[in-house]
Amino acid sequence: MVASRHRDLFRQQSANSYNKYDHTDLESGNGFNQGPRPRQRFRDAIETTVQKSRAQEMKKLLLESVDHKGLEKFRKSDGELKKMQNKRLRHFYEEQNRRLDDWLEVDMVVMALADDVLDSMGPRDLDHDGVAEDRGPLGVSEENVECFLPDDEREKRRKNARHVKWAININVIVNILLLAAKGFAAIYSNSLSLIASLVDSALDLLCTLIIWTTNKLVGWRLAKLKKKFPVGRRRLEPIGILVFSIIMIVSFLQILQESIQKLLPSGDHTTATLPPAAIFSMVATIVVKGTIWFGCARVKTTQVQALAQDCKTDVYFNTFSLAFPLIGHQLDVWWLDPVGATLLSLFIIYDWAGTCLENVTRLTGEAANDRIARKMMYMAYRFSPLVGGFKNITSYHAGDGVWVEMDVLMDEKTPLRRCHDVAETLQYCTEGLNEVDRAFVTIDYTSQGPTGHATENQ
């Protein structure tokens, strides 16, 4: 299946695209569809055969080293989990199922990518003109590894991307409509709680636009941008959220100040009015955000789950934004509205301060959580038949994504070609995982040597 996918990809690229580095060679036929391929010299044929034999040996060790059925026997079905009365025991087996899912994902990536990566090692210049005609699967795909994953996994990732796109677009439209409705209602009301809700909606719209813009920027594949940002632009989104969280905190500090001033003896003690238009806009916000919350809760992706959590917070926030001035107006209690605005402002400041701190720690290199760390250790374990051991495995955040460093131990007499092929294959397989943005694999021959990094730079 992998070989046929490689051939189809090569034919498609040859027929539909032009690459300025694929120099036309009239003698060999390079650069022409279905052109004659040059004959290999006997010495080259021997070298190619030896190289393929080594690659086949490594593939066999790598792909046949795990008993998948042996792992699956430890999984508990949903029915078995529901029958467990002990919550701690049920939680243990749920966690074990998640770990098995992670291991199966690692196995899927290794089994899908390893053979293609190994087949890409040592590109060959078949006609000795200085241009490698046979660059292997990675050369044809321009080092995009996702195209080598199984069809169901690629469809799953595309589906998740579509869900994120739809969720962001719907949220933008909803926030624009709700902002207009709240703005109209705030004109006819002097409620601080309603103004706090209006500011929240305005900044929610700004946040969604930031996420939408950064997603577009990250997705651009321009040569000029690639040269300027050699490791990608994945950190634009958390940087945008960090800037937005600071704006949110500063804005609600201003509302907090207004609320406290109204509570002082010198403040305006007039009971807030709440016209029908204001009540309608707040109820509409609660209903619409609640609908989006329940709709997004079913989509188990990180970004959509974050949007669902945001809608859940909005439901609570707008419910109390309506309740405080409405009860105060009905009971003629002037201080209830500014007290409500104060509490809501403190809640938003606390919530977004946590978001700000989370993004700061991730951008400054926070260690990945235990689940991701265990996943990286299992990836390393999958390569145990090819290596002598692992000196160090480090996984840390560089934004939302994870960067991984692995120090592999090999026998000092191992040929350089084999060391290179093992390290590169491990590196590409690790970067094939959805959580990983970048992986770095280095080779060592002793576990007692230096760590590889200067301590003053840590």
- Using alpha carbons, select from 365, 362, 394 the residue that is nearest to residue 377: 394
Q: How confident is the model at residue 304 (pLDDT cuts 50, 70, 90)?
A: low
DSSP-derived 3-state class of residue 112: helix
- Using alpha carbons, select from 439, 446, 444, 445 the residue that is nearest to residue 117: 439
Strand partners, 30: 25
The CA–CA distances, whole Å, from 421 to 47, 115, 294, 311, 441 equal 16, 11, 48, 48, 11
Two tokens, residue 416: 């350089």
Strand partners, 444: 409
Residue-level pLDDT at 18: 39
Residue 68 has pLDDT above 50, yes or no: yes
Give pLDDT tens digits for 394-431.
Answer: 999 988 889 999 999 999 999 898 898 899 999 989 99
- Average pLDDT value for residue range 25-41: 45
Q: Is 376 left (phi over 0), alpha (psi -120 to 50) or beta?
A: alpha
CB of 109 closer than 8 Å to CB of 149? yes
Fold of 370-457: Alpha-Beta Plaits (3.30.70)
Two tokens, residue 231: 């490791």
User: For residues 46-69, b (16+ Cβ closer than 10 Å) or e, as one string?
Assistant: eeeeebeebbeebbeebeeebeee
End-to-end CA distance of the chain: 45
Q: Where are the domains of the chain?
A: 2-149, 154-363, 370-457
Of 125-134, 269-278, 335-344, which range is least confident?
125-134
DSSP-derived 3-state class of residue 441: strand
Of 93-97, 167-171, 398-402, which range is least confident?
167-171
Residue-level pLDDT at 404: 95
Q: Which residue has the higher pLDDT, 76 or 131?
A: 76
- pTM to 2 decimal places: 0.73
Judging by DSSP bridges, how do beta strands 436-444 and 389-397 pair with one another?
unpaired
Q: How confident is the model at residue 174 (pLDDT cuts 50, 70, 90)?
A: confident
CB of 199 closer than 8 Å to CB of 402? no
- Using alpha carbons, select from 356, 352, 408 the residue that is nearest to residue 380: 408
CB of 196 closer than 8 Å to CB of 252? yes
Highest-pLDDT range among 10-14, 32-36, 398-402, 421-425: 421-425
Start-end of H helices in 120-235: 136-140, 151-187, 192-219, 223-228
Which amino acid, residue 127? D
The CA–CA distances, whole Å, from 58 to 4, 63, 346, 374, 383 equal 21, 8, 59, 24, 10
Residue-level pLDDT at 408: 92
CB of 278 closer than 8 Å to CB of 191? yes
Residue-level pLDDT at 13: 44
Residue-level pLDDT at 25: 41
- Average pLDDT value for residue range 263-291: 80
Give pLDDT tens digits for 212-271.
Answer: 776 666 666 555 666 666 666 677 778 877 888 888 888 888 888 888 888 888 777 777
Which amino acid, residue 363? L
Q: What is the Cα–Cα distance from 78 to 101, expressed in whole angstroms?
A: 14
CB of 323 closer than 8 Å to CB of 196? no
Q: How far is CA 349 from the centre of its chain?
A: 26
Highest-pLDDT range among 8-17, 61-70, 178-187, 242-251: 242-251
- Kindly report the CATH number that applies to the domain delimited by 154-363: 1.20.1510.10
Q: What is the Cα–Cα distance from 274 to 337, expressed in whole angstroms?
A: 11
User: For residues 338-351, b (16+ Cβ closer than 10 Å) or e, as one string?
Assistant: bbbbbbbbebbbeb
Q: What is the Cα–Cα distance from 354 to 101, expressed in whole angstroms?
A: 30
Q: What are phi and psi of 220, to 5 degrees?
A: -65, 135
Look at the alpha carbons of 347, 351, 356, 357 in this order and tell me if their dihedral is positive or negative. positive
Give pLDDT tens digits for 179-213.
Answer: 887 787 777 777 777 777 788 778 777 777 777 77
